[in-house]
Amino acid sequence: MKLVSFNNGRLGVVHGDVVVDITELGGVDPAFWPPVGMVKIIEAFLTQEAQIRDAIHNAPRVALSDVRLDAPVRWPNKVVAFPANYYAHIDEMRTGNGSGLISRFKASGQGFFLKANSSLSGPADAIVLPPLADREIHHECELGIVIGKRGRGIPESASKEYVFGFTCLLDMVVRGKEERVMRKSYDTFCPTGPWITTADEINDFENISLSLTVNGELRQQASTRDLIVTIPEMIAMSSAVMTLEPGDIIATGTPAGVGPVRAGDLVEISIDGVGTMRLPVVQGEIGEHSVWSASKAELPV
């Protein structure tokens, strides 16, 4: 099943080329703020799945091409993100020739970080670049995991029960040495979508292919089989620290091929079995601050 948020507060299931409107099943007025309807749909999914599947045949529908898709989960409790999580990417960040043993220690020993929830944007939104002279802003192509139920201290062996589904995710970042959360939390620096594909539609979590192009040129291509910290390990590690909630998003780390984007670029991310998003990059006016010029950091992080 492919679940979408659309038209600023409505919830739907993509069925072929239509969106079936299941907003009422979420029990949240589309005008209500904060927009937590999808979180409630996810939380109640086990008990509501039959109703949702009935709705696919009975509820009102609208052409997919006539709606504006939003970030599928607009108001999660948190966005957890893993750093460099594919050997080839760590090697490229280490000047191109890192050893596998050192790489594994670095990735699994580094833990995770958070991106601001407010950096989330959707498949119809542009990536808005802050006006930072002399800084590169990079794309990171990542698989997003959407958590389906509350849990703390989840063992790897039980982790799949907590995966609700998957979405495309871009972890945009200003390269530099400032605090990672600041460099990765500009508005629109976490595009997600175009929908959540529920986990039952993905046969093998350990063999999901993902790719990213900029202006049609292939920049990143990988499979989750090459993850250093696997999906079960990510769920165990993050839930060792904090309670995972329905709707939480885990960004699974980027493979090799990161690089700068500029205003006017078109970024396309595709994940097999999940979907594709095409996002224009535009120049914004807000975002300069003296903190960026105070640091002379040159090394990418």
Q: Which residues contact Mn ion by CB under 5 A?
A: 140, 171, 254
Shorter beta-carbon distance to Mn ion: residue 26 or 253 = 253
Q: Which is nearer to Mn ion, 91 or 140 (CB)?
A: 140
Q: Residue 122 or residue 144: which is nearer to Mn ion going by CB?
A: 144
Residues 6+ apart with CB under 8 A from 153: 239, 240
**Of 246 and 253, which CB lies nearer to Mn ion in the complex structure?**
253
CB of 254 to Mn ion, least distance (A): 4
Strands 163-170 and 190-198: antiparallel
Nearest-approach distance from CB 251 to Mn ion, in angstroms: 6
Complex with Mn ion: residue 36 or 84, whichever CB lies closer: 84
171 vs 268, beta carbon nearer Mn ion: 171
CA 122, 127, 129: angle at the middle one, nearest 5?
A: 150
Q: Which is nearer to Mn ion, 20 or 258 (CB)?
A: 258
Task: Pick the closer one to Mn ion by CB: 114 or 297.
Answer: 114
Residue 125 CB, nearest approach to Mn ion (Å): 19
Minimum CB separation of residue 242 from Mn ion in Å reads: 19
Using CB positions, name the residue nearest to Mn ion: 171
Please state the closest distance from residue 61 (CB atom) to Mn ion, in A: 36
d(CA 252, CA 169): 9
Minimum distance between the CB of residue 269 and Mn ion, rounded to whole angstroms? 13
Token look-up 């958070």 returns 114
Query: For 267, phi and psi rounded to 5 degrees?
Result: -100, 130
Report in angstroms how near the CB of residue 150 gets to Mn ion at its nearest: 25
CA 236 to chain centre: 19
**Min dist. Cβ of residue 255 to Mn ion (A):** 10
